[in-house]
Chains A and B, each alone.
Chain A
Amino acid sequence: MNNMALEDYKGVLVYAQQVDGEISGISLELIGKGKELASALGTDVTAIVIGSGIKGLSDTLGEYGADKVIVVDNPELEVYRTEPYTQALAGAINEFKPEIVLVGATAIGRDLGPRVSARVATGLTADCTQLDIADFPINPIPGKEQKHNQLLMTRPAFGGNTIATIACPEHRPQMATVRPGVFEKLKPEAGRKAEVIEFNADITPNNCYVEVLDVVKEIKNTVDIQAAKILVSGGRGVGSKENFKLLEDMAEAIGGQVSCSRAVVDNGWLDKDYQVGQTGKTVRPNVYFAIGISGAIQHVAGMEESDLIIAINKDEDAPIFDVADYGIVGDLNKIIPSLTEEIKKAKAEA
């Protein structure tokens, strides 16, 4: 690899993913986290938005904390395609030389991130759930330089069974894709303006351009379990699609949202949008009710950051009890309906 002048790279760059002119939630979460990293480094956060006819989005990015916004606006960028978006993002990295680049670990980011990192010849850490500025190596090793102000990127591996912390000490930028729902967005500050930089990236068609023949949007309930403050989550133990009514009633009473484990999706009781876990969504609500969920490691990986976990399961040895703040061994069919009544009563009194 070419030796890079590492000190030439400054600032945090966030890829502000937009689809159909709408900023994705992860982009705002990354600006929030990017601010924190930038302040540890004494630098600022730039968001880059790539698309066609998307200049107006810079206002939103500014309100959520971006200090600068790079806009790459070109008709070739109308719909996401790997190559022109790579030309735009890699072009901006070469031009502006950020020391950190954060990309959402979405179906777009997990395609764009690897392609861009290979083009600019740097490392990329996938699906991070924690980012810190610290020394590398973490503890001094005799005979090895300990570098300061490195980005340490922490991620689960082996289906959530282990966690690894990764550094990228000799290359710039340090790149990470980050799981949606892990970091919090800042509160928007109305009227806060970012400095807008229009960047004329070299978007030239080549052999890597593909043709998008059709865009097929799948009609789904627009349920967003990541935004819910309270999740009433059911697993195989709920028993049937019909029986989810018990959880829906409880969710309605407490002002929460229903979600589920993978078994429920596999059984066709609920759509994949409701799924929490390694292959579903990562959630961290204020309260997570795990009802009839055994607590496979892949499920726990997606919910263990919840502030309060209450588990109800008839199997005393269910692993879900290992992560629950309060665990109740019992029959959900008997407990949930009366709990719903109790919640309604308490709410009426309040």
Chain B
Amino acid sequence: MNIVVCIKQVPDTKGGVVFNPDGTLNRAAMLTIMNPDDRAGLEAALRIKDETGAKVTVLTMGLPKAEEVLREAIAMGADEGILVTDRVLGGADTWATSTTIAGALRNIDYDLIITGRQAIDGDTAQVGPQIAEHLGLPTVSYAQAIKVEGDSVVVERQYEDRYHVIKAKMPCLVTALSELNEPRYMTPGGIFDAFDEEKTKITVWGRADLKDVDDSNLGLKGSPTQIAKASDKVRKGTGEKVTDLDPTEAVNYIAGKLKEKHII
């Protein structure tokens, strides 16, 4: 059985956000991590590997630096890494990104493709389902549990107030929630081998390696959505702050404001 896990290197927004003096995000100053939902997807694949001996390939699209997350995934137990990188692929929206990744996946034998539900930088949750559409595969999004049964996967698909138990015939694509599992750590031996340039070769693909895709669907030019404006979030101004009231005065202050606004 062949499993491909699509992973993304993202800025760690939780570890504090760094802004440039002009108010834009300073990405270079922020740590990067493997996107949390993708990491859970990788762990799910590795558990299937532990049980069945499946081969796990990790694939990422990004800058050459994104090779780091592939090595990290290999140190956790993945077998192979593929980096899709090319200048002409830059600036892609979710349509162009999913077209690119689908073009790469057409070169690989897969039974199961796992992606994270969404990445913490864009939060769109679109790329997984769109890859499935380009490849004509069934998709199950928002997986909170995945198991393989014969030629199918059985997935618990989460909704707001319920979950569905869904059986999908492979080949298919599943998008993973970070609450799916507790991902394992890299092993010391794994790290040693994965970050050894000699022992672990990462396959690098560019535009020419993508199968059955048209240039008009790639990169910034192939993106139907375009940015009209991007800005640091404009926040509501600070109101009144009182710092030196005793509890009784504080209560009177709040009650006074509530009465003034006819709330009480």
Using a CB–CB cutoff of 8 Å, the interface residues on chain A facing chain B are 1, 19, 79-83, 86, 106-108, 110-111, 113-115, 117-119, 121-127, 136-138, 152, 156-171, 207-218, 220, 230, 254, 286-287, 297, 300, 304, 308-310, 312, 316, 321-331, 334-335, 338-339, 342-343, 346-347, 350
Contacts and interface: CB of A to CB of B under 8 A. Distances in A.
A153 to B, nearest CB: 8
A314 B137 CA distance: 54
Contacts of B243: 316, 329
Interface of B is mostly: mixed
Given A117-B130, A122-B224, 9 more contacts: A1-B217, A111-B129, A111-B142, A114-B94, A114-B128, A122-B95, A171-B224, A287-B263, A310-B257
Interface in B210-264: 216-217, 222-236, 238-245, 247-248, 250-255, 257-259, 261, 263-264
A114 to B, nearest CB: 4
Nearest to B244: A329
Contacts of A111: 125, 129, 139, 141-142
B32 interface: no
Interface of B: 11, 13-14, 17, 25, 93-95, 98, 120-130, 132-134, 136-142, 154, 158-169, 172, 216-217, 222-236, 238-245, 247-248, 250-255, 257-259, 261, 263-264
Contacts, number: 260
25 contacts: A107-B142, A114-B94, A114-B124, A114-B127, A114-B133, A121-B95, A124-B94, A126-B125, A165-B228, A166-B226, A213-B166, A214-B164, A214-B165, A216-B164, A220-B161, A230-B263, A323-B235, A324-B241, A327-B241, A328-B241, A328-B250, A330-B245, A331-B247, A334-B247, A346-B258
A159 B14 contact: yes
Nearest to B234: A163
Contacts of B138: 82-83, 207-210
Given A118-B129, A157-B121, A338-B251, A322 B238 contact: yes
Contact of B137 (A127, A208, A339): A208
